[in-house]
Amino acid sequence: MTTGATRVQEIETYTPTPEEAARRRKRSIAIAVILLALMLLVFVTTIVRLGGGPAGA
Amino acid sequence: MIRPNAATPGLTLGGQGAVEDYWALLKPRVMSLVIFTAFCGLVLAPGHIHPWTAFVSLLCIAVGAGASGALNMWYDADIDAQMSRTSKRPIPRGAIEPGEALYFGLVLSVGSVAMLGLAANWMAAAFLAFTIFFYAVIYTAWLKRSTPQNIVIGGAAGAFPPMIAWTAVTGSIDLASVSLFLIIFMWTPPHFWALALFKMGDYETAGVPMLPNVAGADSTRNQIWWYSLAMAPVAALPVLFGISGIVYAAAAAVLTGLFIKHAWTVYRIRDGKLGERGPKVLFGYSIVYLFAMFGATLVDRAALALWQAFA
C-alpha cells in the first residue's frame, strides 16, 4: 500500500525521460513567448485605444 | 514532474503534450479559412479601422475559432477515435488529456472574446462569443449526433467570421455583411456532403447521422445538386449590396459555373470509377472555390482603388 508520504516522494523523485524533458522545454518556451506577446498586445492596444475614436480609428 | 502512472493513481494532471499537439487542437487548417474570410470582411466593411485594431481583431477571431475547435475535439473525442480521418487527433492519440482540451478551449474562448471587446468593440465580441457557443454547443453537442441536417444549420458557425470582422469595423451588424455569410453558409452543405459521400464508412462506424448514411448516397447526390444551384444566386449578392463590383462579378460567374459543373457530374454520374471520383473532385474544388471567391472580393477592391487613383 502506498502511503501519502511515499507517494509525495515518488512524485518528487520522478525523472523525466529525455523526450519528456525536451517536450517540457518547448512548452515552457512557447508559454513564455505567448505571455510576452500578450503583454505587447495589451500594451499597444491600450496606446491605440487612447488615441480615441471608434475601434481606435 | 508529475505524470499519471501506476504508482500515482488518479494523478492525471495532463500538460504533457507537445506544443504541436496543442496547436493541432486549434484545427489550424479551418483557422486559415476563418482568417482569410474574416480579413475580407475587414477590407470590405465601410469605415476605417486602425491597422493594429484590425490585426488584433483578426487574431481574436482566429483564436476564437481555434477555441471552438478545441472544444469540439474535447466533446467528440469518442467518435474521433473511430474515424480514420480524425483518429490521429491529439485526444484519441492520447497526447492530450480530454480535460486539458476542455480548459484550453474555455480559456482561449474567454480570452479571445474579452480581447476583441477591449480592442475593437463589444458588439463584435458578443458576436464572437455567440459563434463559439453555436459551434461548440448547438452544432457539436446537439445537432451533429442528432440530425442529418447537422451541417446545414451548423454551417452558420463557419460562416460568421467575415460578419464578426465587419462588425469589428462598423460596430453594427449590417445587411450587406450577410451576403458574405450567405456565400459560406450555402457552400457548406455541398462541400461536406461531397466529403461524406466518400467517407460514408467512417461516419457509419462512428454513428454520426450524415446525410449519405441516413438518406442514402443517391439522395445526397440530389441534395448536392439542388444546394449548388441555390448557391449560385447567392454568389451575386455582394454585387447587389454594392460591396463588390465587376471584377468580382466576372470571377464569381466563372467560379460558380465550375462549381455547378462539378456538382452536375456528381448528380449525373453515380456509378463506376467516375461516380466515385465525382465527389472527391467536387470536395477539392469546393475548397479552392471559397478561397477564390473571397480572394476575388479583395482583387475587386484593389482594382477599384487603382481605377480611382488613375481615373
Residue B9: pLDDT band with limits 50, 70, 90? very low
Residue B233 to residue B227: CA distance in whole angstroms: 11
In chain B, what are the domains? 21-172 (1.10.357.140), 174-179+186-306 (no CATH)
Three-state DSSP at B8 gives strand
pLDDT at B212 over 80: yes
Helix B28-44 vs helix B175-198: crossing angle, to nearest 10: 160
Mean of pLDDT values over A6-23: 77
Q: Which residues of A touch B (CB under 8 A)?
A: 2, 7, 10-11, 14-16, 20, 23-24, 26-27, 30, 41-42, 44-45, 48-49, 51, 54-57
- Is the pLDDT at B4 greater than 60? The verdict is no
* Dist CA B302 CA B311 (whole Å): 14
Neighbours of B282 (CB within 10 A): 26
Percent of chain B with pLDDT over 90: 87
CA distance B257 to B268: 16
User: In this predicted structure, what is the pLDDT of residue B153?
Assistant: 92
B66-123 residue pLDDT tens: 999 999 999 999 999 999 889 999 999 999 999 999 999 999 999 999 999 999 999 9
Rounded to a whole number, what is the distance in Å from the CA of A50 to chain B's nearest CA? 11
Reduce the DSSP state of residue B89 to 3 states and report it. Answer: coil
What pLDDT sits at residue B5? 42
Residues 6+ apart with CB under 8 A from B309: none
Instruction: Identify all chain A residues contacting B168, using CB atoms and an 8 Å cutoff.
Output: 55
B19·A30 Cβ contact <8 A: yes
The distance from CA B287 to its chain's CA centroid, rounded to whole angstroms, is: 11
CA angle A48, B131, A36 (to 5 degrees): 40
Interchain contact B168–A (C-beta under 8 A): yes
Which of B8, B15, B48 is nearest residue A11 as measured by Cβ atoms? B8
In this complex, the residue of A11, A24, A45 whose CB is nearest that of residue B119 is A45
Domain ranges, ordered by start, for chain A: 19-50
Question: Residue A2 — pLDDT band, cuts 50, 70, 90?
Answer: low
From chain B, the residues in CB contact with A34 under 8 A are: none
Interval B277-289: pLDDT, tens: 999 999 999 999 9
Task: Please identify among residues 94-123 of chain B the ones whose CB lies closer than 8 Å to any CB of chain A.
Answer: 115, 118-121
Closest residue by Cα to residue B79 from B69, B70, B91, B61: B91
User: Which residue does chain B place closest to A51, by CA atoms?
Assistant: B50
| Concatenated DSSP letters of B118-184 | HHT-HHHHHHHHHHHHIIIIIIIIIITTT-TTHHHHHHHHHHSHHHHHHHHHHSS--HHHHHHHHHH
Q: Say whether B119 and A56 touch across the interface (CB within 8 A).
A: yes
Compute the distance between CA of residue B227 and CA of residue B191 in angstroms, rounded to an integer: 10
From CA A34, how far away is CA A47, in angstroms rounded? 20
Residue B75's φ and ψ, nearest 5 degrees, are -70, -35
DSSP notation for B38-79: HHHHHHHSSS---HHHHHHHHHHHHHHHHHHHHHHHHHTHHH
ipTM of model over 0.85: no
Q: Which three cell numbers stand for residue B187?
A: 457552400
Q: Which DSSP category does A13 fall into?
A: T
Q: Is B16 on the interface with A (CB under 8 A)?
A: yes
Cβ within 8 Å, pair B47-A54: yes
Interface with chain A: mutation pick from B22, B48, B52, highest number of A CBs within 10 Å: B52
Considering only the beta carbons, identify the residue of B16, B115, B169 that sits closest to A23: B16
pLDDT at B13 over 80: no
- The residue behind cell 465525382 is B278
- Partner A contacted by B177 (CB < 8 A): no
Q: Measure the CA–CA gap between B156 and B135, rounded to whole angstroms.
A: 8
- At residue B10 the predicted structure's pLDDT band, cuts being 50, 70 and 90, is very low
Q: What is the pLDDT of residues B157-191, one digit of tens each?
A: 999 999 999 999 999 999 999 999 999 999 999 99
